[in-house]
Amino acid sequence: MKNLVGVNITSPYQLLSLMSYYKANGSRYNCIVVYKYNAWGSEQISNLYLDYFHSIGGVLVEGLKGTPTIIKDIKRRFSPKEIDFVSVGKIDPLMSIFFRKSRRVVIADGFGSYGSVYSFYKAIRREGQSVNVYCLYAVFHYTLKSIFNSLIKSESYAFHNLKTMEEDNRFASEFKLVCREIGPIEDGVMGDRKVLLVAEQPLVKLGLLTNSEYGDILCRIKRYAEENNLQLILKKHPSENFTSKEPFDYISNARIVEDICINSPNITHVVSHSSSSLFNLTVLNEEINVISFLCELPPILSSKQKKLFSKIRLENF
């Protein structure tokens, strides 16, 4: 038996994907080890998910930066032939070189996993990076990884296959099982009515919308919910800094949108700008209405990202 190693896990969605793979292939592995770090300058993975991770025998490693350092620690724990490794978005070339006989598994990092070199470059610029040495290095590194990933064999494990874009119902089934094992929602904010859930993103922080513009959109979504007799609930992004004078109901940040929808049958609508939960829900639950409040698609999208958007409705609230 081998050991499953997850490298550079930053978000709860990534951890749930990794645990789903481990549970689905449990007869193959002795244990699961996760190398985790905090993105966005804040802790995103809640204790709820970490407790479940530990309950299935997971080993959490924090504080290690850079693939060479992680590889050194992996080799201290296991011999190279004793591991399979999971990467986020794309296979890390160094991991493939040092662990040539390992099974290579790729999980998604949300919407960005389906981007192109150009969309990656624009995403960096959107996050406030000027065209400097760091920006050029990041794009160059991304390009090399893209070429490398097109040449080697790997296993995609996501709602939409990272290469072919085919829906993976096996992944969806295993993902549901893990979320249900974690247990029901005990939040208290949801009543007996049908629910419209807004999956927030750091739109104000990234400069995609002003605080006022985003507030106006939420008010229009609130009117839509009232007209359709829906309870409006917001799921806040941990790094968003939006402030509103209008009172809104917020659900606990302990769980991700997909998990909330699996364990909350009252949710009939999910609305967001471009949260990956919209596209994931088209595979998880076809009965939920998934809506983007984008008026039109931005021109920087890759062909794969456009294909994802073709599965959902755009609504100018």
Write the DSSP assignment of 165-228 as a string of letters: --B-HHHHHHHHHHHHHH-----S---SS-EEEEE--STTTTTSS-HHHHHHHHHHHHHHHHHT
Which H or E run contains 151? helix 133-151
Considering the domain architecture, whether residues 169 and 215 belong to the same structural domain is answered as no
Considering the domain architecture, whether residues 14 and 134 belong to the same structural domain is answered as yes
Chosen domain end from 132, 161, 181:
181
Has residue 19 been placed in a domain? Answer: yes
For residue 112, which of 85, 136, 132, 138 has the smallest C-alpha distance? Answer: 138
Has residue 16 been placed in a domain? Answer: yes
Chosen domain end from 127, 148, 181:
181
Has residue 283 been placed in a domain? Answer: yes
Chosen domain end from 155, 181, 207:
181
Considering the domain architecture, whether residues 255 and 157 belong to the same structural domain is answered as no
Considering the domain architecture, whether residues 308 and 203 belong to the same structural domain is answered as yes
Has residue 186 been placed in a domain? Answer: no
Considering the domain architecture, whether residues 176 and 200 belong to the same structural domain is answered as no
Considering the domain architecture, whether residues 108 and 257 belong to the same structural domain is answered as no
Bridge partners, 198 (sequence order): 234, 271
| CATH code for position 224 | 3.40.50.2000
Has residue 31 been placed in a domain? Answer: yes
Has residue 188 been placed in a domain? Answer: no
How confident is the model over 121-139, as pLDDT tens digits? 666 666 555 556 667 767 7
How confident is the model over 275-306, as pLDDT tens digits? 999 999 999 999 999 999 998 898 889 999 99
Considering the domain architecture, whether residues 200 and 169 belong to the same structural domain is answered as no
Considering the domain architecture, whether residues 54 and 107 belong to the same structural domain is answered as yes
Domain that holds residue 107: 2-181
Considering the domain architecture, whether residues 148 and 25 belong to the same structural domain is answered as yes
How confident is the model over 152-200, as pLDDT tens digits? 889 999 999 999 999 999 999 999 999 999 988 877 788 789 999 999 9
pLDDT at 306: 94
Indicate yes or no: pTM above 0.75.
yes
CA dist 245 and 201 (Å) reads 19
| CATH code for position 101 | 3.40.50
How confident is the model over 263-280, as pLDDT tens digits? 999 999 999 999 999 999
